[in-house]
Amino acid sequence: MDSALRAIVTEAVRASDEDRTTFPQVVASLIAAGVERYHADLVCNERVFYLPDGTFERVPAHQVPSAAQAFSARDVEAAVRAIQGGEIQYREFCDRVAQAGCVGYHVFIAGRRVVYYGRGGEQHVEHFPGAKP
């Protein structure tokens, strides 16, 4: 990944962690940069961004509290609705999904969906607003 692209993904993580941006803004910048998808590992506190050619970039992210043992898709969905509604910012969102047992999520930009997952492989799939399931 070249230095310009590296700067874009690093800023996406920093701006999210500092509550200076929104998910739609991050996705728009990643689309413009050619990023295909990314993975948020809430245990390792990092984001990994992937390009269609197989290259990737790891970026450290803020620390999230340990995830609950049990996964609650209902509580993950409630956190998604809260951030979409502007009731919370990204750091609180991460805390809430971790409390719901989420240990990470994959954002599939082309597929317009996010897959949240728990310790045992439990999942909640959230489609981008306006995307058809």
pLDDT digits (tens, 9 = 90+) for 27-43: 999 999 999 999 999 99
> 16 falls in which pLDDT band (50, 70, 90)?
very high
| Chain centroid to CA 79 | 12
Q: How many Å from the N-terminal Cα to the C-terminal Cα in the chain? A: 31
Q: What is the CATH number of domain 3-124?
A: 3.30.1810.10
| Residue 113, amino acid | R
Structure tokens at 39: 């993975």
Q: Which of 128, 127, 79 is nearest to 101 (CA)?
A: 79
Beta bridge partners of 57: 49
* pTM as predicted: 0.94
More confident position, 103 or 130: 103
Residue the block writes with tokens 């990092």: 46
Long-range contacts of 47-50, Cβ-Cβ distance < 8 Å, separation of 24 or more: 47/9, 47/12, 47/13, 49/1, 49/9, 49/12
Distance (Å, whole) CA 108 – CA 125: 11
